[in-house]
Amino acid sequence: MKRRLLARGGLWLWVWAVLAFLFGPIITIVIFSFDRSNIETLPIRSWTLSWYQVAWHDEQVRQAFVLSIKAACAATVLALLLGSLAAFGVHRARFFGRDTVSLLLVLPIALPGIITGVALNSTFQWAGISLSIWTIIIGHTTFCIVVVYNNVVARLRRTSATLFEASADLGASTSQTFRFVTLPLIATALVSGGLLAFALSFDEVIVTTFTAGAQNTLPIWIFGAIRLGQQLPEVNVVVTAVVVLMLIPIIIAARLTGRDTFSASSTRAPTN
């Protein structure tokens, strides 16, 4: 019993250490957003709120933020659709090409973004498609599919096929099985896959450079601002604001996931 308590204590200690690791750099970013100097060194000599004012009035930042959100939303929806279709297909399939599909989907993130970016750019140019928000979405969807796919396929591997069979045996239609059995089972995987996909899209620079038109996404703006270092504190302000803003959708998603966990565990019972 004592050993068990000790093990629990150790685990929680680990959790706290990991949290410190995860948030150390974030806190650094927040702190430097109040630094008057645009060179990040400690100790901070002079504190200021002026960068917040600069960022608030920066029209480029607003436009970039809106474009990023739009592109990430669309790419996530498409990736959710295509990624889960691929996951279901691969899960059902027993053919030699199964691993090929897995490899194919993982390629856009395994290859340097520059390759994906230049390859897509060439295709768009060749096909006469002018670069716009749509080409950004196409590029992002391409590398976001794998995120959804991997999450869903891992979930399906852990799910018993008997569940779907039982549903069918009990006379449920395909759509009923999907609605009442499949969807609840994979819901959490979809939510987490969708969030990761959204994050990946929202933060992507390299592929976007080659698939975006003249309008900048937020990471592209950030990259520009970082290059010369003049606007580094403004970048920190923007990042801080985005993190705070994103708390809301993430908390909602986490709540959804939690509720689904609950309902999923009730469907879990019959398996055993």
Partner 1 sequence: MFLGIRRGTRGRVAIALATLSLTSMGVTAITTGAGASSGLTPPTAGMKAQTSIGKGEGKLNLIAWEGYAQPQWVKPFEQQTGCVVNTKYAGSSGEMVSLMANGGGGQYDLVSASGDADLRLIYGGDVKPVNVKLIPSWKQLRPFLQSPSFNTIKGVHYGVSLQFGPNVLLYSTTTFKTAPTSWSVIYSKKYKGKVKVTVPNNPIQIADAALYLSKSKPSLGVTDPYELTQTQFSAAVALLTAQKPLIAKYWNLASDEINLFTSGTAVVGAAWPYQTTTLKAAHVKVEETIPSQGATGWADSWLLAKNAPDPNCAYDWMKYITTPQVQAEQAVYYGETPDNSLACPLMNKLQAGSCNAYHANEPDSYFKSIKFWKTPLSTCDNGKTDCIPYSEWTNAWTQITG
Partner 2 sequence: MDPDNGVSTLEPATSGGTKSLRSSALSHRWGTAFLLTPPLLWFFVLYVSSLVLMLITAFWSLNGFTGNVTHQLTGANFHQIASGSYPAIIGRTVLLAALVTVTDAIIAFPFAYVMARVATQRAQRLLLVAVLLPLWASYLAKIYAWISILERGGALNWTFQHLGLPSPNLGFTNGAMWLTFSYIWLPYMIVPLFGALERIPGSLLDASSDLGASSWWTFRHVIVPLALPGLVAGSIFTFSLTLGDYVTPLLVGGANSTLIGNAIYQNLLDGGNLPLAAALSTVPIAIMVAYLLVAKRFGAFESL
Q: Which of 232, 223, 230, 242 is nearest to 32 (CA)?
A: 232
Does residue 64 touch partner 1 according to CB under 8 A?
Answer: no
Interacting residue with partner 2 among 6, 9, 14, 173 (CB under 8 A): 14
Does residue 45 touch partner 2 according to CB under 8 A?
Answer: no
**Closest separation in Å from C-beta 203 to partner 1:** 16
User: Rule CB under 8 A: which of 103-142 touch partner 1?
Assistant: 118, 121-123, 125-126, 130-131
**Closest separation in Å from C-beta 211 to partner 1:** 11
Interacting residue with partner 1 among 72, 212, 218, 238 (CB under 8 A): 212
Bridge partners (DSSP) listed for residue 35: 47
Interacting residue with partner 2 among 104, 179, 180, 230 (CB under 8 A): 104
Does residue 53 touch partner 2 according to CB under 8 A?
Answer: no
**Closest separation in Å from C-beta 224 to partner 1:** 4
Does residue 102 touch partner 2 according to CB under 8 A?
Answer: yes
| Residue 246: exposure state from Cβ atoms within 10 A (0-12, 13-18, ≥19) | middle
| Residue 2: exposure state from Cβ atoms within 10 A (0-12, 13-18, ≥19) | exposed
Interacting partner of 62 out of partner 1, partner 2, none (Cβ under 5 to 8 A depending on kind): none
User: Rule CB under 8 A: which of 135-154 touch partner 2?
Assistant: 138, 141-142, 145-147, 149-151, 153-154
Does residue 47 touch partner 2 according to CB under 8 A?
Answer: no
User: Rule CB under 8 A: which of 10-39 touch partner 1?
Assistant: 37-39
User: Which chain residues interact with partner 1 by CB under 8 A?
Assistant: 37-41, 118, 121-123, 125-126, 130-131, 209-210, 212-216, 220, 223-230, 232
